[in-house]
Structure 1
Amino acid sequence: MDPRIVARLRCPVCGEPLAEVAAGTARALRCPRRHSFDVARQGYVNLLAGRAPHAGDTAEMVAARADFLAAGHYDLISDALTDAATEAASGAYPLVVDAGAGTGRHLAAVLAALPDAVGLALDVSKPALRRAARAHERATAALTDTWQRLPLADASAAVLLNVFAPRNGAEFRRVLHPAGALLVVTPAADHLAELVDALDLLRVDPAKAERVADSLGGHFVEESGTEHRARLALTRTEVATLVGMGPSAWHTDPAGLAARITTLPEPVPVTVAVRLGVHRPR
């Protein structure tokens, strides 16, 4: 694992620094108190303190997300994050942390634009981390629950990404450098609007902006907010992939969904609409 990243990791049990150790072909991270955390052969390290409350996205959901993102449909999100991160990152070997990283595609795009940066993908889904660990040569992936204390030193991150993921305001503030930036991407009110009614999908919470403000307000000040929009023309297969990678996959009957998708005229028009908030520590 990249020693620049390991140096900023902390033991989730006692908070002490971690160091990489090897025993034959196996690798692990270990603290001075001998708490040890295995590095999986797929490249990610398990830094959970105890059991996760849930397993996160399934292998099927992660595969759907990887296919949809690889087609470039959400590149406007990666581009917006890259522009904001390029302005925010500073210091020697800045650390970019993606909390709820999924496959790591957005993190990889940011790292590609910041040749001196290193990246850490955090997620609770093992299938996602298997992909995130390979997303970029300067990235490391760790299994962790972002609602718990993050396995990072205080003020260790220059940029923190949060894309369609839970927000732990207190921990984000603790691990972010005072001069750093938290970049939060949330769906706008009309995100995927054409599919919501046609396929009976979950709707964007009308109080989304208020909930984001409540979760971060005591720890961050929003410096700027911008909307990013695109109009997609998808095949029915791509629509099924899009639904299968998101939260509606947990709440939709597969047979009923497939039947409704067959009634859609091709190409299927779909609006992508997201908001990027740039937040600075208080």
Structure 2
Amino acid sequence: MCGSSLTRAPGVLRCAERHSFDVARQGYVNLLSARSRPPLADSGDMATARAEFLTAGHYAPLARRLAEHVADRLPAGDGLVVDAGAGTGYYLGAVLDRLPAATGLALDASVAGLRRAARAHERIGAVGWDIWQPWPLADGSASAVLNVFAPRNPAEFARVLHPGGVLAVVTPTAAHLAELRTLVAMLEVHEGKLDQLDSSLAGEFEPAVRETLTVELSLSPDDVRRVVAMGPNAHHLDRGDQRARLAELDQLAEPVSATASFVLSFFRRAGG
């Protein structure tokens, strides 16, 4: 609203211009007004599906590998780790477990996600914000930024990371959950995503390492419904016969075998 620094008092954040933002009883602060909230923020059902799917451990290998890489690149193990599009805070919590001296900030537009992110780890602060807009963070204030299956804002990545800071981006490959496409309608992963990522970061970031991770999954009908309902596919459930196809999954006699396929890309902020 005014760009002034915020200070914390019991139950509220305030600035010198007397703007104030209440700390919700669940522990998050929403800096978004109703008019500035993005239209496609995760719903309560999406946040619940994601929490249940991730808690079941299906993507635990990804969380573990992400945390290992970030910890390796922050030898001091401290500073601020920002998760841009944090969802329920699952991946940020895993990273903080590997960095006992670091603190985390979960940025997300979904109130349902923020409620969970605020409780995902004792060192997470959760803030409601639109990732596409300039972030409510000081220049050079972060040691690392995570961006896991979320919108990317390269200009803000560069602004909030200090020189030498770490950017970790996780994207799906074209093979991600391909087996499920015979059962339900899934959005395609477009070719060229990595080229687009590298191009968007050129000049401000230096590539460090890139790794492909494949995880073999055994999914129950409920797991399949959760993985559809927790991401962008959830915004298209009313198209065609999607809901009917999801209901028919209960007729499957065996768990569904599927392959989760991710690319983990790590960059260093130029100038460090």
Same topology, TM > 0.5: yes
Which residue of the partner structure matches residue 188 of structure 2? 203
- Change in 2 beyond 3 A, CA 1:45/1:259: closer
Q: Distance in 1 between matches of 2:224 and 2:2?
A: 45
Unaligned runs of 5+ in 2: none
SS in 2 for 1:222: strand
The number of residue pairs the alignment matches comes to: 266
Q: Distance in 2 between matches of 1:263 and 1:184?
A: 37
2:172 matches 1:187? yes
Map 1:153-192 → 2, pairs under 5 A: 153-192=138-177
Map 1:257-272 → 2, pairs under 5 A: 257-262=245-250, 264-272=252-260
Which residue of the partner structure matches residue 133 of structure 1? 118
SS in 2 for 1:137: coil
SS in 2 for 1:117: strand
Map 1:68-107 → 2, pairs under 5 A: 68-89=53-74, 93-107=78-92
SS in 2 for 1:199: coil
Which residue of the partner structure matches residue 40 of structure 1? 24
SS in 2 for 1:232: strand
- Change in 2 beyond 3 A, CA 1:190/1:263: farther
Q: Distance in 2 between matches of 1:257 and 1:153?
A: 47
Map 1:116-131 → 2, pairs under 5 A: 116-131=101-116
Moved over 3 A (4+): 90-93, 262-265
Q: Distance in 1 between matches of 2:82 and 2:18?
A: 26
Q: Distance in 1 between matches of 2:108 and 2:38?
A: 13
* Identity value in percent: 49
1:204 CA drift (Å): 0.8
CA deviations on 1:71-130 (whole Å, 9 max, x unpaired) are 100011111111111122255841111000000011111111111011100000000000
The Cα RMSD (Å) is: 1.7
CA deviations on 1:21-51 (whole Å, 9 max, x unpaired) are 23xxxx2111122222221111101123762
Which residue of the partner structure matches residue 6 of structure 1? none
Unaligned runs of 5+ in 1: 1-12
1:219 CA drift (Å): 2.5
Q: TM-score, normalised by structure 2?
A: 0.92
Which residue of the partner structure matches residue 232 of structure 1? 217
Check the 8 A contact 1:167/1:215 in 2, yes or no.
no
2:261 matches 1:273? yes
CA deviations on 1:179-212 (whole Å, 9 max, x unpaired) are 2100000001100010123312111111221222
Q: Distance in 2 between matches of 1:55 and 1:189?
A: 23
Q: Distance in 2 between matches of 1:107 and 1:72?
A: 15
CA deviations on 1:121-169 (whole Å, 9 max, x unpaired) are 0000000000000111111100000110111111111111100001100
Check the 8 A contact 1:93/1:118 in 2, yes or no.
yes
Q: Distance in 1 between matches of 2:157 and 2:106?
A: 14
Q: Distance in 2 between matches of 1:20 and 1:180?
A: 26
Q: TM-score, normalised by structure 1?
A: 0.89
Aligned AA for 1:227?
T
Check the 8 A contact 1:224/1:279 in 2, yes or no.
yes
Check the 8 A contact 2:71/2:77 in 1, yes or no.
no
Of 244-253 and 67-76, more deviation after overlay is shown by 244-253
Aligned AA for 1:261?
L
